[in-house]
Each structure stands twice: as C-alpha cells, then as structure tokens.
A and B are shown apart, each in its own frame.
Chain A
Amino acid sequence: MNPHKRSPLVIAAASLVYFFLYAPIVILILYSFNASRANVTFEGFITETSSRVVMDGSLVKASPCGFFHWYCDLSRNDDVIEAAENTLTIAFTATIIATTIGTMAALALQRYDFKFKPFSQLSLYIPIVIPEIVMGIGILTLFSQTFGALNSALNLTGDSRLSLGIWTVTVSHIAFMVPFVTLVVQARLQGFDKSYEEAAMDLGANEWTTFWRVTFPMILPGVLSGALLAFTLSLDDFVITFFTNGPGSTTLPIYVYGLLRRIITPQVNALSTVWILIVFLAVLALQWLQSREQKPAQ
C-alpha cells in the first residue's frame, strides 16, 4: 500500500481550500495597482503612459512611478512611516526582553525545583486559554487606575503626567510573548542529552563555562525560533495594542484599522502587499531555522 496515495476527492477538496486561502490575498495585491483612487472597482493597471490617476474627479499629472504609483505614495506618507517605526521599536525591544527572561524561566522550570514552580508553569498558559480582549481590558484597567492614582497623588500635570504610550504597549506585549518563548525553549530542553554537560564538568569546566560553551549553543536554535515567533506575534498584534496605545504610539495594525473605518485608497493595498512580502520572507527564515534545528550540526 502506498502511503502517499490520495483519492481525487481529497485532492479536489484541498485545492479548493487553498483557493479559499489565497484568492483574497491575490485580489488584495491586484488592487494595489489599481488606476482608480476610489478603489471601489478595479479600473485597470496604472501604466507608464496612462498614469493619470483620477483624483476627486480631476486629472493629476503623470506619476513618475507609473505602475508602482501607490507604493511611491506610500513611501511619502509620514503617518505610515511613523507607525512602522513604532511597530519595529516595540517588536525589537519586547523581543529582546521576552527572549532573555523567557529563556531563563525555561531553564528554571526544566532544571530546578523551587517554591513557586507550579504557579510559574501554570501562569504560562493564561494567554492561550483566555481571549485576548479580556487580557487587553484588564491591562488597560491596571494602567488607567494606577496612572490616575499616581497622577493625583504626586500632583503630576501636563507632560509629566503618566499616560499610555510606546512603553505601555511594549511592556504589555512582553507579557503575552514570554509564555511562547518559554514553552518553545522548554520543549527544546526536554529532548536535551545531559551527558554533554556532564562530560564538560568532568573535564573541569565550571557551571558558568559549561552553560555558555555547551548548553547555550545547543539550545540556541530553540531560543532563536522562540524569539522569531515572539517578534512576529508583536508585529501582528492588534487587540493588546488597541487597548494599551496612546497618542503617538500608533502601530501599523492600528493604523490600517483606522483607515478601514474612513477612506480607503489603493495605498492601503500597497501597504498590505509590502507587509505580505515581509511575512513571506520571515516565514522562509523561520522554516530555514527549523530545518537546521531538525538536523543538528554534525
């Protein structure tokens, strides 16, 4: 019996599901080259010669970018650039902190016994079993109540008042990222052969040297894929950011959501297309890391 044999019915169903997954994405990308500013119907591609885009019923001068008109438009949009900067700042900072403390926790949970261990392990599952909106409004309540109390207790006024901003978003992102890092690294540590460490200790290395020269290089692929997962979760997050951002800390998902409720030009499609391209590259990198993890260096 051939284990790779599949009935035509399964193949047909699978193809349909792939079509369902990809058709919206293809249409989205197609509309990023739309000649119509209103972006309601697709009125043909913007070409080099006919790049006169109808704007509010009037003709505008030919765009020097031609086919990529909306992408040029996007690169000149200061709001998008600011949102992208915020998104990356938050994601990088949160990933570094979450990966460091998450890896430490994974080591502690896998290797040590201590008083509050069951509590630590259990708290990791909170973001998985509780809807994100519940966490989001909980964190918002925490911030608004403590900020309100501190502002009036310390008599803070004007700019020195505590308020929501980039740091509240970052701190909240770390909270939902850490469990994923810890669980990924813990899984890596579970299949860990302790004899390498014992050999290093027998040869006279102390615990510190053993960790950095033996243990850490061996868990590094796990740490890296945990970090990459955390990074993508932060880039992608909408709900937690929605409740914890303040003026000046808009991220890309929040920015796009704001646009969807107002006027939509093909610029949104151009932004989405760039984003999908970045995701494509990131997933490629993640797969490459995981394939390296499956075949450890000889």
Chain B
Amino acid sequence: MLTISNLHARIEEKEILRGINLEIKPGEVHAIMGPNGSGKSTLASVLAGREDYEVTEGSVTFNGKDLLDLAPEKRAAEGIFLAFQYPVEIPGVTTINFLKTAINEIRKYNGQEPLDAAQFLKRMREKAKLVKIDDALLKRSLNEGFSGGEKKRNEIFQMAMLEPVLGLLDETDSGLDIDALRIVAEGVNQLRDGKSSFVIVTHYQRLLDYIVPDFVHVLYKGRIVKSGTKELALELEEKGYDWIKNEVDALEAV
C-alpha cells in the first residue's frame, strides 16, 4: 500500500530525515518510536504533505501513485489521514460543517455524489458513539476551547468519519490521561478492519498497550535503526533509548 524508499527531507537547512525505508501493507499497524528530535513527527508531516518540509531525495508510493507529487488535499482524498499532535482551533467553522465539506470534497475527487443530510447524520451518529464524543461539541467551532482530550478525540472522530485507507497518528497520546487514552485507542481499534492501515507515532509505549502494533520501528537521527514486533516496544519501555543510541553512535564512529 505504502512504500517509502530512501526518503530524505529537510526543514530550512536542517536535514531531518536521512534515508527512511518502510513498507506498509493493508491492515497493518506500525508504531514509530524514538527519542525526541529523531524525526518521527517529520515523517508523519512529510507523508501528509506539510509545506514546511522539503523532500531532497527518495520516493513515496501510495497505492501505485507518487504521493510526493500530490497536494495535501489530494493525499487526503486518496485516503491518507493525519491526526495532528496539536489540532488547530478554527473559530467560526463548526466540526459538522467542516466534516460535511471535507467528506464531499473527497467524494467529488473520487467521482462520487455528495452525501445527503440524512446519510451524513447517520454516519456522524455512528462514529460519534465510537469515540464517545458529545453531539454538542460537534456543533461548536472546530476545536475552539476544547480540552486537550476533547481535541484528540475529535481527531479520531474525524478519522472515523473520513474512513481513510492509511491513518497517521502523530503523538495522539501526548497530553492524554489514561481514560482519554483508552477511548482514543478503542476508537482506533474499531477502525482496524483488516484493510485500513495505521502508523502510530509515539514517544511512549503506553498507547501500544491498547493499540497493539504488528511492527515497531525505532527512529533515530532520521533513520529507522531498529525494527521488531510489539516486544521491542516493551524493551524500550524498560531500557529507554540510550542503548540504541549508543549502538548507532558507535557504528557511526567506525
């Protein structure tokens, strides 16, 4: 579904991704872990098409298409969803109207008729239940005055509404208490249908207690330096990142 080959990216003069290789197949859940500043969030941002980053080398293919060639909205229409680490507040635009616009733009791109009001409402009720988000919240301006937990839940709700092929979760667990974490994780788990894939970017292992990944990758200095299964996450939880850093730094010194 997604093939990342030798991906290099920089912001201004600073090179942050220095040769990422990753293959994601339908239905898989990949966790991207790593110390601060390793490039985890950059990877998610580059995949979603954030303008601040410049790709200097490598390629990303998504369902046969050159992803890097597409504007962010087209990536979304092709089925990529980025759950933001810091969801943006948009005064004056309600979540409902925002999603109605988003869904219908995506449908238009894919040659589908817009959802009518009844279909939209039905989908909204279903998905709101999934992440236990209050109707009243959805009628308010998007994320405006929402608590940290409400914003993250709203991200997962939006993801559920847009039914992406590939969901990128950028530190969705940061700033969440354990109850909110559980709700968010349950939401994601219900979206795991064997076809949709997820990339979960996280610093800590705790979210992976609830969303069990198929693969765990450790990013350090802009490269994937270690890959494994869920046991790797537990090992990191126990031992921290220093042993990996030391390994890599020692190799680089040679």
Q: A and B bound?
A: no
